[in-house]
Amino acid sequence: MTPPTGPLGPPAHAPGGEPPDGLRRFARIWCRAVYADTATSMTRAEFEELMTGLARLLADALHGRPFDPSPGRAVGEALVAAHCTVPEALPRVLGVVDAYLPLYCSDPAELPADEARIRSTRLQHAIAAGYAAALQERTRAEQEALSRAALSAQQEIARALHESETRFRAVFKDAALGIALADMSGRVLDVNDALARMFGGSEHHVRSRNILEWTHPEDPPEIWRMQRELMRGEREHFQVEKSYGRSDGTALWTNLTVSLLRAANGEPRYMLAMVEDVSERRLLNLRLRYQATHDALTDLPNRSLFFERLEQALSRASDTARIGLCYLDLDGFKAVNDSLGHAVGDQLLIAVAERLHGCASGPGQMLARIGGDEFVALVLDPPSPGTVTELAERALYALSTPVDVGGRELMVRASIGVVEGPARHLSSAEMLRSADITMYRAKAEGGNRYAVADPDSDARAISRHHLTHHLPAALKGAEFFIEYQPLVKMEDGSLEGAEALVRWSHPRHGVLGPDRFIPLAEHTGLIVPLGRWVLQEAVRQACEWQVRGIGGPRPLKVNVNLSPRQLHHPELVEDTISVLEEAGLPPSSLCLEVTETAMIRADENELRPLRQLAELGVGIALDDFGTGYSNLANLRRLPATTLKLDRSFTLGLQRAPADPVDLKIVEGIVSLAHTLELSVTVEGVETSTQADRLRELGCDSAQGWFYARPGPPERLPEAV
């Protein structure tokens, strides 16, 4: 390009020189017109710089001598290179050149305005031509790149396909997993070596059959449901444990996964089965399960297998209608173990297991060893109740000949509890408990025999067990309450006090009398907290009566029963005193009733607490007197203040005429008691005749239905 000369002040093209103002302005307008539409990554400033350069080219060309429009082409090409390629870009560029190039970039002194306009137009043509040519070139280049890319992509796909195909082939052929490919009708298209090997080596055997024929009697039904769903295209895959019959008759256990393969358009095309041989694992599992469910010593089913079977039979789903159990426990096995050693004991158990096994190996029968020397025979659906007792008889007979253990002849005896009944009603634990209770009955009757469960004695034992179990919660949950039975002065029939009688309001069994649970509470020791609660509550109640002035001027007393275990409790005295003090009841208003039997058995140490309480003024009554056959002379050493004559004595006085012997006895006791300065209370007075006679005999007070039955504390004021 020839350097322009002329009127543009400092030469517009001076390399590195500052562009003149006009040129700058033109470039800025140009930039504003096209920058927003370019796809360039240049910043606006950079773009403006570029435009300034192009503007300088155009300005120089405008003044060129001779005029040469070709720099216009270069400008067009440069615009395409700068990504000014949106459809509106070229018209805008030409518009700006047309309007502003002659205005800002020409010197009228050098170039007449008309000439400038003509040159500008020619430059525009050149720009447009360069632009179009560059655009065309670029499109062609892009197309070329695209098709080159497409071509190489195609080559890539083919290579990948081939690779995945070989990979698939390799996997298919060399896999340890058995693989089979079938079409949607189930026809086998291909199987790999592993699958053929699993089935015994013959590929033909595997290929020749439709997969729908690969059934096995142990197939769970859902296999074939899922298979059909898959074949209808409703399921993509499923996985099951399935066995197959091999041609040699053995079973092949597999973990089978079947997947649906679809074509590109989504149509179900193939089924792919992957088969893992799990026969070994299954065998191992079976072996482990056998070990877990069998007794290592005798090889008999163990306790857990026995319960599993029993529970199965008792479950709702089972169609077992009746169940029989023989619960067998060896008599005196501990002695054998202790005197002859465990090795001999073990040998004996093995021999016993063998003999018993022979007795309970019929259909629906199972013999298990469920504890040291405890065996149980389970009979499902015994044809008759007799079947189970016959089994027990057979078992006893089988054990009746001596067992030879290491050259020693040992006698074996056993006790058996037999239970037989409908499967619906009992739980497995209840059934075994019933059998256990019954077995103990057989033992208690001398052993070497069987006993048959009887619902009544069982029910008693079971409910005893149940109540014992629930006592602690009942005490916590405040299920106990107290009824009071009036004690009446015989002299005038006035109310003297009341005996506190505890009851249990059981959530399932209703109100239970003390006879049902006091012995259990006594047995478990729970009587101590229960007795303390009764004492507290009765003392509080007596206080309330006294405060309310019930029973007239004399303060009402309360009688509380003490059981033998409480008698021996070290804190009896302290507890009683603190209960009285807390409530503010005078000791003389409390009478503790202790049965004659308990009191007679107590030695001096055990009597000391009672004596201390008596010294404090607490009344001590000898309850149920006359049932303990005590030596009357003994009465003197007891710390008692009152005799409570048992109901059995007053019964004879109900009759008319009264039994003369009873009359004499009662008369004697009353007079002896009075000599010892004991007052006499009679229990169980049910009729007025009785009441009259007892009064005549000198009894001091009475208690019984004739006066009032035990009732809630609010009823006491109206009782007499």
Binding residues (CB under 6 A) for ligand C2E: these are: 485, 500-502, 513-515, 518, 531, 534, 561-563, 593, 623-624, 683-686, 703-705, 710
Cα–Cα distance, 78 to 40 (Å, whole number): 12
State the DSSP H helix or E strand holding residue 181, giving kind and residue range, or none if neither.
strand 178-183
Q: Which is nearer to ligand C2E, 385 or 519 (CB)?
A: 519
CB of 437 to ligand C2E, least distance (A): 25
Closest residue to Ca ion in the complex (CB) = 593
d(CA 134, CA 151): 25
Burial classification of residue 237, based on how many CB atoms lie within 10 Å of its CB (0-12 exposed, 13-18 middle, 19 or more buried) = middle
Q: Which does 367 bind (CB under 5 to 8 A by kind): ligand C2E, Ca ion, none?
A: none
**From the CB of 537, what's the least distance to ligand C2E, in Å?**
9
CB nearer to ligand C2E: give 447 or 529. 529
584: left (phi over 0), alpha (psi -120 to 50) or beta: left
Tokens standing for residue 101? 């190039």
Measured in Å, how far apart are the chain's first and last C-alpha atoms?
143
CB of 592 to Ca ion, least distance (A): 10
CA 264 to chain centre: 47
Distance from C-alpha of 586 to C-alpha of 604, rounded to nearest angstrom:
26
Partner in contact with 705, chosen from ligand C2E, Ca ion, none, beta carbon below 5 to 8 Å by kind? ligand C2E
CA distance linking residue 698 with residue 690, whole number of Å: 13
Which token pair is 419? 């239970």
Phi, psi of 328 (to 5 degrees): -115, 130
Specify the residue, 448 or 561, whose C-beta has the smaller distance to Ca ion: 561
What whole-number distance in Å separates Cα of residue 581 and Cα of residue 586? 8
Q: Where are the beta strands (DSSP E) in 585-647?
A: 590-595, 619-625, 642-645
Between 337 and 703, CB nearer to ligand C2E: 703
Dist. CA 669–CA 520, nearest whole Å: 33
Please identify, using beta-carbon distances, which residue of 382 and 531 lies nearer to ligand C2E.
531
Adjacent-strand bridge partners of 360: none
Question: At its nearest, how many Å lie between ligand C2E and the CB of residue 639?
Answer: 18
Q: Which of 557, 610, 553 is nearest to 586 (CA)?
A: 557
- Would you call 695 helix, strand, or coil by DSSP? helix
Helix, strand, or coil (residue 510): strand
Instruction: State the nearest-atom distance from the C-beta of 610 to ligand C2E, in Å.
Output: 14
Give, as one character, the DSSP assignment of residue 35. Answer: G
Q: Could you tell me the smallest distance in angstroms from the CB atom of residue 695 to ligand C2E?
A: 16
Binding partner of residue 106 among ligand C2E, Ca ion, none, CB cut-off 5 to 8 Å per kind: none
Neighbouring-strand partners of residue 78: none
- Nearer to ligand C2E among residue 117 and residue 464 (C-beta): 464
CB of 463 to Ca ion, least distance (A): 24
Min dist CB 520 to ligand C2E, Å, is 12
Per CB under 5 A, residues contacting Ca ion are 561, 593, 623-624, 683
The interface partner of residue 639, options being ligand C2E, Ca ion, none and the CB cut-off 5 to 8 Å by kind, is: none
77 close to 133: Cβ distance less than 8 angstroms: yes
Of the pair 206, 538, the CB lying nearest Ca ion is at 538
**Bridge-partner residues for 253, per DSSP?**
243
User: DSSP string of 225-285?
Assistant: HHHHHHHTTS-SEEEEEEEEE-TTS-EEEEEEEEEEEE-TTS-EEEEEEEEEE-HHHHHHH
Q: Are strands 403-405 and 413-422 parallel, antiparallel or unpaired?
A: unpaired
Residue 397 interface partner, choices ligand C2E, Ca ion, none, CB cut-off 5-8 Å depending on type:
none
CB of 477 to Ca ion, least distance (A): 26
Nearer Cβ to ligand C2E (324/684): 684
3-state secondary structure 32-59: HHHHHHCCCCCCHHHHHHHHHHHHHHHH
Residue 102 tokens read as 């002659």
Smallest gap from Cβ 404 to ligand C2E, in A, equals 56
Q: Which is nearer to Ca ion, 254 or 650 (CB)?
A: 650
Nearer to ligand C2E, 515 or 603 (CB): 515
- Closer residue to ligand C2E in complex, CB, 378/562: 562
Closer Cβ to ligand C2E, 553 or 629, answer by number: 629
Minimum distance from CB of 406 to ligand C2E (Å)? 55
Residue with tokens 């990554």: 41
623, 594 Cβ separation under 8 angstroms:
yes
Nearer to ligand C2E by C-beta: 172 or 545? 545
563 binds, among Ca ion, ligand C2E, none (CB under 5 to 8 A by kind): ligand C2E
The residues facing 328 across adjacent strands are: 375, 416
Q: Which residue has the tokens 């297991």?
A: 353
What span, in angstroms and rounded, lies between the C-alpha atoms of 12 and 31?
19
Q: At what angle do helices 455-476 and 514-524 cross, to 10 degrees?
A: 70
What is the smallest separation between the CB atom of 501 and ligand C2E, expressed in angstroms?
A: 4
Which CB atom, from 277 or from 623, has the smaller least distance to Ca ion? 623
* Residue 704 site contact among Ca ion, ligand C2E, none (CB < 5 to 8 Å, cut-off depends on kind): ligand C2E
Give the span between the Cα atoms of 707 and 717, in whole angstroms: 13
**CA–centroid distance for 620 within its chain:** 54
331 has which bridge partners?
413
- Residue 622 CB, shortest distance to Ca ion, in Å, is 10
Q: How far is the CB of 655 from ligand C2E (least distance, A)?
A: 15
In this structure, are strands 679-682 and 642-645 parallel, antiparallel, or unpaired?
parallel
Rounded least distance, CB 339 to ligand C2E, Å: 44
Asked if 436 contacts 457 with a C-beta cutoff of 8 angstroms, the reply is no
Do β-strands 408-410 and 268-277 pair in parallel, antiparallel, or remain unpaired? unpaired
Nearer to Ca ion, 331 or 593 (CB): 593
Closest distance between ligand C2E and the C-beta of residue 717, in Å?
A: 19
d(CA 369, CA 360): 12
Amino acid at 360: A
Specify the residue, 367 or 562, whose C-beta has the smaller distance to ligand C2E: 562
